[in-house]
């Protein structure tokens, strides 16, 4: 039997770009952990014929079709009646789903149950119910001509709970999946093409079951080795170690980690903390450093100081320094970092000040100029970069460089 | 001719979930502005047969196929040779593309040009070149059997420049597109099902060319009216106004705005500023409020105070208040907000303190408990919410509620 997965996402909002599909990426990641391979992802609108055709077509390519979206209580949600007709069932009230809806309204939403909510507990009589503990729309599992079809809500939080609690265990129990393994390392300070020249001989010598991929992102390049149907783990591990040796000093992590995770691991290993003083990045570094559970172990806090006044009052930057050199200068980021260390009592500080655009450039400081500082009470190092992207991407890349500056500082001391 | 668009995205990273596809949403949005309709999106891996089949299949459904990804300089990038073979061309060096690559390396990257980089300037001899001023991989425009195929790099920044500068103008010039118009309003404080009951009569009375969609997100519901092939703008406008009347007091915006945009507009209209004191949200509200250009007009800055010490030293919260009531309490968020107003000199303050999980809950303050305050030097109002999501979603919803608390405060005063 074909155990490849195709994911169908349903909703006009996906086709007019009002919503970014994060569900598919999450589903693919989770399925991969179990050795389940996604071969296609298809997005279609809230349109009867297009959904129907997608079901027909994807079932020719994949043995497991995961469908998200279109299960809400409103008229634009047509997935449930469509699946009912597609599989030739008829709609019946499901006692388990009804109990769940009733309980959610009584204990969580604390609102009266309407006719429309009750109707959400109806499902086709020829499906297996997939309970949804986090919402009112139940999931459905159908089988037809050796193919499995699973329909889940598009609300990420609900879909995730149902995948973890029911769908993946049910699929994994049914099949023996071939092993897929990925190992990723992260390089910094080298472009994709130069990296490919470095690894050219290595890549041409790879065994057929191992594939190398290059994923450039925000100034870093991730190299991913994927092993399909491996007989032993050692081969991938050996190959990965050779690759790590080849990239040498460009290597900054031997796992698929973001820069904030790399910096966090380093700080945790030394039981030290960092605080940030942000001007142009506006709290983005703070957000990155605090978003993971347990971040209070290494992250002390942040001051986001947009104005001259805030830099003076909150961080103790000298007015004369601001006037003489301007807010985007080596002198100011140094004073921001040392002022922060005085006030926050963290082991390390990161400070950033720049012009991220689209406006605000000066003759000697064009849009994209960013000064950053990192260090501790003993020494503060600085760096200037020139970014050439839009505001959003400039913010991301500036944050990445600033965190890397501290990473390099810690490793040298 | 069929002028519907299908988007094919290429890359194993999309199928193993290592990368979230934001390109398709952006492309769809831009195309929509010109009345160009996307009917399907398909993601396939770096696999010759699957890409080939996707080209065959999508050309049966759409007249314009936009392809992103697989144009890098490395061995896993097979889109260019595949398209060359698919359209029966042969690879030739393109002088314009070569000049662009050479110039990029000389003036921007400041690195020597390698053989691999030069090879990126080769394109099939039967395509029209789409210049890429932001990177080394040129785009390609093919035509076959009345269908247009456009291949662009997957790097978002490069793809966007090429779409705006070349692809959309070329497509728009070729065809007369039917008009598509969307109008979106945003509701707060009401669930999707109850909203659907409110709008049931309205929806059943809609003319056939106007469609209503419900998009719940982070405690808000966006209602989108889409008019396909409208003869006059007035009909959509009238329908939109009736809908706005029906949702009444739940309405918080008559455009497709995020909560931070709604709050920003309100502050700009009053020439006033806000500052934030964040504990559990860790700078996320600061990031939202500062990420748009011109944010310094309404956003003063933020203090991210994770620890007891930071709350005392930076915001002047009383130690006795922290000890008596705990960091997650009405008293502490009130003192955070008033301390912030003393130090930041902004017109308004928002303060948040909570337990976002997965750990850290207390018997009387379970995970998901969040206290928030908003106000000015005259009055500070507070609110407690209980969230039931994961850490990431709890952060987003808490930020949304906190910004809404200030929005409501400003409107009442």
Q: Quote the minimal CA–CA distance from B357 to chain A in Å.
A: 7
Nearest CB partner across the interface for A282, out of B43, B74, B286: B286
Interchain CB distance below 8 Å, A291 and B299: no
Q: In whole angstroms, what is the distance from residue A335 CA to residue A311 CA? A: 9
- CATH node for B259-412: 3.90.950.20
Which of A4, A13, A15, A116 is best to mutate for the B interface (most B CBs within 10 A)? A15
Instruction: Strands of A104-258 (E only): list them.
Output: 122-124, 128-130, 139-144, 147-152, 180-188, 210-217, 220-228, 251-253
Interchain CB distance below 8 Å, A46 and B213: yes
**Chain A residues with CB inside 8 Å of B389's CB?**
157
Coil, helix or strand for A48?
Answer: helix
* Residue A2 contacts B, CB cutoff 8 Å: no
**Unique residue bearing structure tokens 């966090």:** A264
Q: Among positive and negative, which fits the CA dihedral B8, B11, B17, B18?
A: negative
Nearest CB partner across the interface for B282, out of A12, A286, A313: A286
- The H-assigned helical ranges of B277-390 are 284-290, 308-315, 319-325, 330-344
* Residue A103 contacts B, CB cutoff 8 Å: no
| pLDDT at residue A232 greater than cutoff 80 | no
Tokens coding B259 = 């909560």
Q: What is the mean pLDDT of residues A300-314?
A: 89
Q: In whole angstroms, what is the distance from residue B293 CA to residue B255 CA? A: 19
User: What is the pLDDT confidence band of residue A270, given thresholds at 50, 70 and 90?
Assistant: very high
Peptide bond into B358 cis (omega under 30): yes
Nearest CB partner across the interface for B19, out of A25, A193, A226: A25
Nearest CB partner across the interface for A74, out of B75, B76, B192: B192
Interchain CB distance below 8 Å, B314 and A74: no
Angle in degrees, 0-180, between the axes of helices B259-269 and B391-412, rounded to the nearest 10: 30
Nearest Cα residue in chain A from B16: A28
Interchain CB distance below 8 Å, B303 and A303: yes
* Residue B176 contacts A, CB cutoff 8 Å: no
Helix (H) or strand (E) holding B187, with range, is: strand B180-188
* Residue A395 contacts B, CB cutoff 8 Å: yes
Tell me, what's the pLDDT at B108? 78
pLDDT in tens, A248-262: 999 999 999 999 999
Cβ burial A390-406 (10 Å sphere, 16+ → b, else e): bbebbbbbbbbbbbbbb
Q: Quote the minimal CA–CA distance from B91 to chain A in Å.
A: 20
Tell me, what's the pLDDT at B216? 84
Going by C-alpha positions, the residue among A59, A62, A82 that lies closest to residue A70 is: A82
**Chain A residues with CB inside 8 Å of B75's CB?**
196, 203, 212
Q: In whole angstroms, what is the distance from residue B191 CA to residue A360 CA? A: 42
Q: Quote the minimal CA–CA distance from A288 to chain B in Å.
A: 9
pLDDT in tens, chain B (413 residues): 789 999 999 999 899 888 889 999 999 989 988 888 999 999 999 999 999 999 999 999 999 999 999 998 888 889 999 999 999 999 999 999 999 999 988 887 778 888 888 999 999 999 999 999 988 999 999 999 999 999 999 999 899 999 999 999 999 888 877 778 889 999 998 988 889 999 999 999 999 889 898 888 877 999 999 887 666 667 899 999 999 999 999 999 999 999 999 999 999 999 999 999 999 999 999 999 999 888 989 999 999 998 888 899 889 999 999 999 999 999 999 999 999 999 988 999 999 999 998 888 888 899 999 999 999 999 999 999 999 888 988 999 999 999 999 999 999 98
**Chain B residues with CB inside 8 Å of A317's CB?**
none
Helix (H) or strand (E) holding A61, with range, is: helix A48-61
Instruction: Strands of B36-144 (E only): list them.
Output: 38-44, 64-68, 91-93, 122-124, 128-130, 139-144
Interchain CB distance below 8 Å, B216 and A305: no
Q: Quote the minimal CA–CA distance from B12 to chain A in Å.
A: 8
pTM, two decimal places: 0.82
Q: Quote the minimal CA–CA distance from B328 to chain A in Å.
A: 15
Tokens coding B321 = 């208040």
Nearest CB partner across the interface for B196, out of A116, A343, A359: A116
Interchain CB distance below 8 Å, A29 and B17: yes
* Residue A286 contacts B, CB cutoff 8 Å: yes
| pLDDT at residue A40 greater than cutoff 70 | yes
Tell me, what's the pLDDT at A366? 92
Nearest Cα residue in chain A from B9: A41
| pLDDT at residue A23 greater than cutoff 90 | yes
| pLDDT at residue A361 greater than cutoff 70 | yes
Mean pLDDT of chain A: 92
CATH of A180-253, one of 2.40.160.20, 3.30.70.2860, 3.40.50.1820, 1.10.540.10: 3.30.70.2860
pLDDT in tens, A173-230: 888 777 788 899 999 989 888 899 999 999 999 998 898 988 888 779 999 998 876 6
Tell me, what's the pLDDT at B232? 63
Helix (H) or strand (E) holding A56, with range, is: helix A48-61
Going by C-alpha positions, the residue among B276, B25, B60 that lies closest to residue A13 is: B25
Interior angle at CA B372, CA B369 and CA B377, nearest 5? 160
CATH class of A5-174: alpha beta
Interchain CB distance below 8 Å, B29 and A18: yes
**Chain A residues with CB inside 8 Å of B390's CB?**
157
Q: Quote the minimal CA–CA distance from B348 to chain A in Å.
A: 15
**Pairs of residues, one from chain A and one from chain B, whose beta carbons lie less than 8 Å apart:** 310
Q: In whole angstroms, what is the distance from residue A267 CA to residue A275 CA? A: 12
User: What is the pLDDT confidence band of residue A233, given thresholds at 50, 70 and 90?
Assistant: low
Nearest Cα residue in chain A from B78: A213
| pLDDT at residue A313 greater than cutoff 90 | no
User: What is the pLDDT confidence band of residue A378, given thresholds at 50, 70 and 90?
Assistant: very high
The rounded percent of chain A whose pLDDT value lies above 70 is 99
Interchain CB distance below 8 Å, A20 and B16: no
* Residue B6 contacts A, CB cutoff 8 Å: no
Q: What is the residue extent of each domain of chain B?
A: 5-174, 180-253, 259-412
Please report the ipTM that was assigned to this predicted complex.
0.80
Interface of A with B in 296-325 (CB under 8 A): 296, 299-307, 309-310, 313-314
Tell me, what's the pLDDT at B233? 67
Cβ burial A82-107 (10 Å sphere, 16+ → b, else e): bbbebbebeeeebeebbebbeebbee
Interchain CB distance below 8 Å, A75 and B196: yes
Which of B243, B306, B340 is best to mutate for the A interface (most A CBs within 10 A)? B306
Q: In whole angstroms, what is the distance from residue B324 CA to residue A292 CA? A: 28
């Amino acid at each position: 039997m074909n155990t490849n997965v195709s994911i169908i996402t349903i909703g006009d909002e996906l086709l007019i770009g009002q919503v970014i599909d994060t569900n598919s990426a999450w589903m693919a990641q989770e399925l991969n952990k179990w050795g389940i391979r996604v071969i296609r992802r298809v997005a279609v609108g809230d349109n009867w014929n297009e959904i129907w055709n997608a079901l027909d077509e994807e079932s020719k390519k994949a043995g497991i079709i995961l469908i998200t979206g279109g299960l809400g209580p409103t008229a634009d949600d047509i997935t449930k009646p469509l699946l009912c007709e597609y599989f030739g069932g008829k709609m019946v009230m499901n006692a388990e789903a009804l109990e769940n809806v009733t309980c959610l309204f009584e204990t969580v939403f604390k609102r009266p149950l309407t006719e429309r909510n009750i109707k959400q507990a109806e499902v086709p009589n020829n499906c297996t119910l997939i309970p949804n503990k986090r919402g009112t729309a139940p999931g459905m599992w159908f089988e037809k001509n050796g193919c499995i079809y699973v329909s889940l809500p598009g609300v990420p939080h609900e879909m995730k709970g149902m995948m973890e609690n029911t769908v993946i265990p049910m699929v994994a129990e049914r099949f023996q999946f071939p092993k897929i393994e990925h190992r990723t390392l992260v390089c910094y300070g080298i472009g994709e093409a130069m990296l490919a020249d470095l690894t050219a001989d290595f890549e041409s010598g790879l065994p057929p079951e191992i594939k190398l991929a290059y994923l450039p992102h925000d100034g870093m390049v991730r190299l991913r080795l994927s092993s399909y149907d491996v007989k032993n783990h050692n081969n991938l591990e050996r190959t990965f170690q050779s690759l790590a040796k080849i990239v040498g000093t460009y290597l900054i992590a031997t796992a698929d980690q973001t820069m904030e995770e790399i910096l966090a691991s380093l700080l945790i290993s030394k039981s030290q903390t960092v605080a940030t003083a942000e001007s142009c990045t506006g709290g983005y570094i703070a957000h990155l450093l605090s978003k993971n559970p347990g971040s209070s172990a290494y992250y002390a806090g942040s001051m986001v100081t947009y104005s001259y006044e805030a830099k003076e009052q909150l961080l103790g930057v000298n007015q004369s320094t601001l006037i003489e050199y301007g807010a985007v200068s080596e002198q100011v980021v140094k004073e921001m970092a040392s002022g922060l260390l005085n006030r926050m009592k963290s082991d390390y500080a990161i400070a950033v000040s720049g012009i991220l655009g689209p406006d605000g450039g000066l003759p000697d400081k064009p849009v994209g100029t960013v000064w950053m500082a990192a260090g501790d009470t003993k020494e503060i190092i600085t760096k200037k970069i020139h970014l050439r992207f839009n505001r959003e991407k400039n913010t991301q890349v500036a944050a990445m460089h600033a965190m890397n500056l501290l990473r390099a500082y810690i490793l040298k001391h």
